[in-house]
Structure 1
Amino acid sequence: MSLFRAISWPAFSLAAGLLSGCASNEIYRGDYTLCSVTPGNPCEQNSLHLYNDGAANEYTLGFVEIDDQGQMRDRKQMQALLDTLYQKAAKESILLTVFVHGWHHNARPGDSNIESFKENLARISQVESQRSKELGRPPRKIAGVYVGWRGESIDLAPFNYLTFWDRKSTAQDVGYLGITELLVKLEEIANVRNSMTPPIKSRLVVIGHSFGGAVVFSATSQILASRFVDSRENKSYTDSAKGFGDLVVLLNPAFEALRYAPFYDLAQARCSYFPDQLPRLAILTSEADDATGILFPLGRIFSTVFETHGDIERNDCNLPLSLDEGKADRATVGHYPPLISHALTPVADAQNLQRASYENMKHLWSTQTPGGSTQYGSTVLTHLNKTSPRNPYLNIRVDESIIADHNDVFNEKVMEFIRLLISLSTDD
């Protein structure tokens, strides 16, 4: 066998294997009619699902699929979702949760992120039903939107782990283009309903995981900055900082700390916040997340080798910050200690465990102190005294017993805490 054949045959076999393992680039949910899901009818081809019709855990789930260039795979799919939600919001208030998945996931029927999101929507619906009875108000209808994009370009293990840099770039394109339009239109649906002065307001929460966190941050960051400053005409007072929708949550997000630094500075330059200031952006990263804590920085070493970086010193509101731009450009936002504002740990004493107190959330949040700790159900949120209390941007380091690894973001411990944040931001 010649040297050329000895080298080329393995290379050809590898290339053939990679090509055969290319992830699907087609739309998964091509039927845009609303389908009522039953045990015998999973509605796998439909982009609009109704679950548990008439029960206390009823919810609607819609899918919107985005291609690698950030474009809607079919704008009719998005429009069908918007039409359904407009019709629902015209009749009653809604609590709308958007989820953008990350690496290795998509909108394929049976995807583990879809199944976990469905379980979480059912739980939110149960909580909303219970809270409506306690407060003597009508319950909001629960609706979820699952944003599907090609979370990996090769689905053949172990080669799919080589898609990291490719999918990181795609996540930024997805966030800068199609997702922004979708999110703004979903926010419009909630605002149109609220302009009718309903007995309970409609609300919007956006959640992104992994590269999906990068998608959401890219899509909302400039809107968040604009609404924090609030430069509208004839404004003569300082108000509470606004956000996008009611709350943006990023779980183990895979983007650079340096991209978040301007938002840290923006919020830190304001030395105090009103008691009614609510959280607007919550970033939660597990200390045991090796994907964003180890693999991501390794990848960034090569892509930043020719960039120049400096050191930044801040002392806004007598809270010093030393930022090494090089380290911040290689580390993810949840693994760069100077920008981490809070720690989330489990309740140390099992005897102190308490039921999640939805009715007391605003009081707990408004009375936080510098360096203080507050119990939220089975977890404790500790302010690290790097930011002003009630700063609406939270970058939270999460104990591994709460989020075990990169993908463990739908377990009950962290979901309970997120539901409490949602209640804090939406319960009026």
Structure 2
Amino acid sequence: MPNKPYWVSDWKRNPQAVEPAQVDPKRFSSRLAVVELDEQGDLWGGHQLETARKMVYDSPKRPLLVIYIHGWQTNAHPKNRDLQTFSNFIAKLEAAPEVKDYFTVTGVFIGWRGASYTSESSLTGIGYIARQASFWSRLDATNRVAGVPLTGAISELVSAARSCPSDRGVSMLIGYSFGGRILERTLGQALVSQHAYSSDQDGALLPADLTILINPASESLYARQLKLAMKNWKSPHPAIISLTSESDLVTAVAWPAANWISNIFGGFRKYIRKGTKESQKSFVVSTAGHDPRMPTHAFVYEGPATVPDGRSAFEYNADKATAQRFYVSQPNGTSAYGLETLPGNRPGVLPTGGYWVLHVPSEILKGHGGIFEEGGIFSEQVTDVLAALYSITNTDAIRSTQRVELNTSR
């Protein structure tokens, strides 16, 4: 597939892109922008980023910025289902009464070359095999995408939301599958640097009000490194929240198999911690969501329940959710959930370190990508949970408008 962008600014298709065609902008939310990166992780010029930045900064009301990084086997093609699903999610946020009365929503889709093959021939036979075999080349590509240009783009967009003349905005970062790996690596070094800097200052400024990894296809080794580097994190506001579906077989089965093969001759050592030895390779062939040493919190199902005051689950969660009680919409009503902090003295468990890891019940998120007809990873259930997590982790005392206090005792 040629290394070319799909979009120029203002929703105009790039005439030099693959399969150039006129696209009806009505298919997409008017509050959606696309920022693309090439095979080497460079931005395609500055026009896309400037268009997105201006949309955020010129928000007539308080900005609500949602930045999304997609996963494997997808890109920013206008016919791509991932792009359409994210656009629908932004449109739903725009239409929600509890959002539209107070915020101007802007969604930014970060497109990268997650798909090496897009033709019909890649769906069957040898083409299908080649498409699956692209896993390793696209895994390598995520390392290049998670570089300085993307870090700068995210920082510039979040800064635009925070400095908006109308009001200081709210920002949310979401990475899905390989996009979760990209987001984790993009933010990781900056977070550790902020942590070290805060030893002599008044805390670390979080990169966003909420940073979510959904079914991240990423080695638990990197989560381990971040947790240990930020082990003295004191604030209840996490830097990163990782959500993995209990029924996600891609990160539970396919990831370990693929990485075991590619690391047969890798150089690994043993970690010695608390008198026990752990294989470094075990962290490479596992994702954080399926590594028993990683989970920090758990969803607690409390049963069917009615949302108070006749509100929707999303509306209630965005305003009043607590770790003890929030609500999730279901096909036949609404269910109540709580969020339990798991004991930190479990065998082999790593410190929380500002990095939450949770298993998500299949009733909330099905499989690796959710059900497309129900919104995929942006289903009503997941949206309810995102609202709850924002409310739970952003109390008046723990806003990212302030510096988060870190415990720097040794």
Question: Which residues in structure 2 correspond to 1:232-271 (within 5 Å)?
Answer: 235=201, 239=203, 242-270=205-233
- Report how far residue 420 of structure 1 moved: 2.3
Q: Deviations over 1:393-428 (max 9, x none)?
A: 211111222221111122221221012223455687
2:196 and 2:171 map into 1 onto residues whose CA distance is 21
Which amino acid is the alignment partner of residue 343 of structure 2?
N
2:116 and 2:197 map into 1 onto residues whose CA distance is 40
- Distance 1:73-1:187 versus aligned 2 partners, 3 A rule: same
Structure 2 partner of 1:342: 297
Structure 2 partner of 1:25: 3
- Distance 1:116-1:312 versus aligned 2 partners, 3 A rule: farther
1:356 and 1:178 map into 2 onto residues whose CA distance is 37
1:417 and 1:360 map into 2 onto residues whose CA distance is 8
Which amino acid is the alignment partner of residue 394 of structure 1?
W
- Report how far residue 352 of structure 1 moved: 6.0
2:392 and 2:91 map into 1 onto residues whose CA distance is 19
2:351 and 2:112 map into 1 onto residues whose CA distance is 37
2:2 and 2:198 map into 1 onto residues whose CA distance is 45
Structure 2 partner of 1:115: 84
> Residue 358 of structure 2 aligns to a residue in which SS?
strand
Q: Deviations over 1:192-241 (max 9, x none)?
A: 22xx6x6x5202111010111111111111112223344376x3x5x5x5
> Which moved further from structure 2: 111-120 or 100-109?
111-120
- Give the % identical residues: 24
Structure 1 residue 225 corresponds to structure 2 residue 179: no
2:11 and 2:221 map into 1 onto residues whose CA distance is 42
> Residue 99 of structure 1 aligns to a residue in which SS?
strand
Instruction: Give the number of the structure with larger relative contact order, counting CA–CA contacts within 8 Å between residues 6 or more apart.
Output: 2
> Residue 10 of structure 2 aligns to a residue in which SS?
strand
Structure 1 residue 307 corresponds to structure 2 residue 267: yes
Structure 1 partner of 2:313: 356
- Report how far residue 94 of structure 1 moved: 0.6
Question: Which residues in structure 2 correspond to 1:185-196 (within 5 Å)?
Answer: 185-193=156-164
Q: Is the 8 Å Cα contact of residues 341 and 383 (structure 1) preserved in structure 2?
A: yes
> Residue 380 of structure 1 aligns to a residue in which SS?
strand
Question: Which residues in structure 2 correspond to 1:41-190 (within 5 Å)?
Answer: 44=23, 51=29, 60-86=31-57, 88-89=58-59, 91-127=60-96, 129-130=97-98, 139-155=102-118, 156-157=122-123, 158-159=128-129, 160-190=131-161
TM-score calculated relative to the size of structure 2: 0.77
1:404 and 1:111 map into 2 onto residues whose CA distance is 20
Which amino acid is the alignment partner of residue 340 of structure 2?
T
Structure 1 partner of 2:252: 293
Which amino acid is the alignment partner of residue 395 of structure 1?
V
Q: Deviations over 1:158-207 (max 9, x none)?
A: 221111111111011111243112101112212322xx6x6x52021110
TM-score calculated relative to the size of structure 1: 0.74
Q: Is the 8 Å Cα contact of residues 34 and 50 (structure 1) preserved in structure 2?
A: no
Of 341, 355, 380, the residue aligned with 1:383 is: 341
> Residue 33 of structure 1 aligns to a residue in which SS?
coil
- Distance 1:330-1:250 versus aligned 2 partners, 3 A rule: same
Of 361, 368, 374, the residue aligned with 1:406 is: 368
Structure 2 partner of 1:394: 356
Which blocks of at least 5 consecutive residues in structure 1 are unaligned? 1-22, 36-41, 52-58, 134-138, 316-320
- Report how far residue 125 of structure 1 moved: 2.4
Q: Is the 8 Å Cα contact of residues 64 and 170 (structure 2) preserved in structure 1?
A: yes
- Distance 1:102-1:348 versus aligned 2 partners, 3 A rule: same
The CA RMSD over aligned residues, in Å, is 3.3
- Distance 1:70-1:375 versus aligned 2 partners, 3 A rule: same
Q: Deviations over 1:263-296 (max 9, x none)?
A: 22244434x54xxx42331100112111111111
1:28 and 1:44 map into 2 onto residues whose CA distance is 11
- The answer to which structure has the higher helix fraction is 1
2:185 and 2:280 map into 1 onto residues whose CA distance is 20
Which amino acid is the alignment partner of residue 356 of structure 1?
A
- Report how far residue 82 of structure 1 moved: 2.2
Question: Which residues in structure 2 correspond to 1:201-220 (within 5 Å)?
Answer: 201-220=168-187
> Which moved further from structure 2: 140-149 or 306-315?
306-315
Which amino acid is the alignment partner of residue 232 of structure 2?
A
> Residue 134 of structure 2 aligns to a residue in which SS?
helix
- Distance 1:302-1:412 versus aligned 2 partners, 3 A rule: same
Q: Deviations over 1:309-341 (max 9, x none)?
A: 2134259xxxxx985422111111211110111
Q: Aligned pairs, how many? A: 359
- Report how far residue 143 of structure 1 moved: 0.2
Which amino acid is the alignment partner of residue 298 of structure 2?
A
1:350 and 1:130 map into 2 onto residues whose CA distance is 23
Larger Rg: 1
- Distance 1:396-1:350 versus aligned 2 partners, 3 A rule: same
Which amino acid is the alignment partner of residue 307 of structure 1?
G
Structure 2 partner of 1:419: 387
